Amino acid sequence: MDKILVFFFIFLSCDVLFSQNINEYNKILKIENLPFNKHEVRIYSKQATSAGLEMFRLSQDDMENWTCELYKTESTGNQQIAIQKHYTNSPKNIDLVWVKILDTDLLHLPQWKSIQYKLEKKNKEYFTEDGEIMSSKSSSTILDGVSYYVKIKNDKKENQFKYDNPESYLKIYPSVDELISFKELLDIVRTEFKVFDK
């Protein structure tokens, strides 16, 4: 019972922390009151070593009109930050692009903590510690880079998650499905909407 409560607390804490980050980013970008439509994806891109923040939004309103926009922070000097809003490149067949985005499994991708076990190398070396046989593992930690927060809704299905440096980790662990799916998402967004340039 204690393990179940601890797990529930950790899960709840991650969800609350994620929501706090999203709310904080929305305040920075001055979009706290921007409604989230029933067909929408928001991808927040945050640089680890700067105040740079971007949010790409693809949204369909009740009249089935699509909006593609990018919000970003820019330093204006004197420790002031300006918010820029741009309408992005709009593909000819945006409905097709939406289906391609859904095909990246965004609605099913888990939280980062759920895939961290895949980001370990099992060294096939064993040792005994306190009378227990242990397995040796190694992992890489990337501190610099880009974190992505994603929130998506498609009718009644929705999901939200955060991935830290997914493209950098994919270079080290090229067979992790979730990283492959996320890279496919970024490729679609970069190609179709000309945002999140490398």
Is 36 part of any domain?
A: yes
Is 38 part of any domain?
A: yes
Range of the domain at 18: 2-193
Prediction pTM value: 0.82
**Residue 45 pLDDT:** 94
Is 198 part of any domain?
A: no
**Residue 84: burial class (beta carbons within 10 Å; 0-12, 13-18, 19+):** exposed
Residues 53-76 have pLDDT tens digits of 999 999 999 999 999 999 998 877
Question: Do residues 168 and 119 make contact, with C-beta atoms less than 8 angstroms apart?
Answer: no
Give residue for tokens 């998506």. 152
Is 92 part of any domain?
A: yes
Residues 88-127 have pLDDT tens digits of 888 899 999 999 999 999 999 999 999 999 988 887 888 8
Question: Do residues 168 and 147 make contact, with C-beta atoms less than 8 angstroms apart?
Answer: no
How many domains in the chain?
1
pLDDT > 50? residue 1: no
- Helix ranges (DSSP H) in the chain: 2-28, 94-102, 112-115, 166-172, 177-193
pLDDT > 60? residue 151: yes
Residues 5-16 have pLDDT tens digits of 333 333 333 344
**Residue 180 pLDDT:** 98
More confident residue, 161 or 143: 161
**Residue 21: burial class (beta carbons within 10 Å; 0-12, 13-18, 19+):** middle
